Chain A
Amino acid sequence: EAGVAQSPRYKIIEKRQSVAFWCNPISGHATLYWYQQILGQGPKLLIQFQNNGVVDDSQLPKDRFSAERLKGVDSTLKIQPAKLEDSAVYLCASSSITGELFFGEGSRLTVL
């Protein structure tokens, strides 16, 4: 079974530039999550989708972050404009009916 796919793995941008991350969850998983993991901290949920609907985006900085899952499968997370404090690893996960989350390898963002 293929795992959660994410790209790019690494991205370096300057502040005020934009960046987009892509995620393809495990086939058949209806729920998709984007987490932000800042160095030295645990992952923090940014947004959760159930199929193509948003379940929870309470921690998403909506002035600069956006995410979509238009067809209920893959998803894109965008940051525009980026700030220095957005430097982090962005983790995508999907969940099965048994409840555990399966994570991708992550996309490491460095904002200079």
Chain B
Amino acid sequence: AQSVAQPEDQVNVAEGNPLTVKCTYSVSGNPYLFWYVQYPNRGLQFLLKYITGDNLVKGSYGFEAEFNKSQTSFHLKKPSALVSDSALYFCAVRDAGNTGKLIFGQGTTLQVKP
């Protein structure tokens, strides 16, 4: 069965420093991977996805993610964190049955301090 794991409940980083939010996946077949962000009392917003092609995927708000097949990872990164990036981040994988549904990790809270 498809699954993703986010090993860190919370990541703390100082404003201006680079940030990484980790995600590992387990899939049968080719992985279709996604990152979403959730601000308090809001729905999930799409950041970026990996389907095929370049291992470095660029997304919204300056975020990017690196797909690593050998390590089965899809870490979210940003070169310089902003306080406004503080939110809950979810990694997701598309279900193998190709119904389109996404299976989400448990989420990682990112706290960026001034």
Contacts and interface: CB of A to CB of B under 8 A. Distances in A.
A44 B43 CA distance: 14
Contacts of A61: none
Interface of A: 4, 6, 31, 33, 40-45, 48, 55-56, 91, 93, 95, 99-106, 108
Contacts of A106: 41-43
Interface stretch (B11-19, B73-81, B104-112): B104-112
A41 B32 CA distance: 21
Contacts of A4: 43
A22 to B, nearest CB: 15
Interface of B: 32, 34, 36, 41-46, 49, 51, 90, 92, 94, 97, 99-107
A71 to B, nearest CB: 21
B105 A42 contact: yes
The SS class assigned to the A binding surface is: strand
17 contacts: A4-B43, A31-B100, A33-B101, A40-B107, A41-B106, A42-B92, A42-B107, A45-B102, A48-B99, A48-B101, A55-B99, A55-B101, A56-B101, A91-B43, A93-B43, A101-B102, A104-B43
Contact of A105 (B42, B51, B92, B100): B42
Contact of A43 (B32, B90, B97, B100): B90
Which 7 pairs from chain A and chain B are nearest by CB?
A42-B104, A103-B43, A103-B44, A100-B46, A105-B43, A42-B106, A43-B104
A41 B101 contact: no
A44 B34 CA distance: 15
Contacts of A41: 106-107
Contact of B49 (A55, A93, A100): A100
A46 to B, nearest CB: 10
Contacts of B99: 48, 55-56
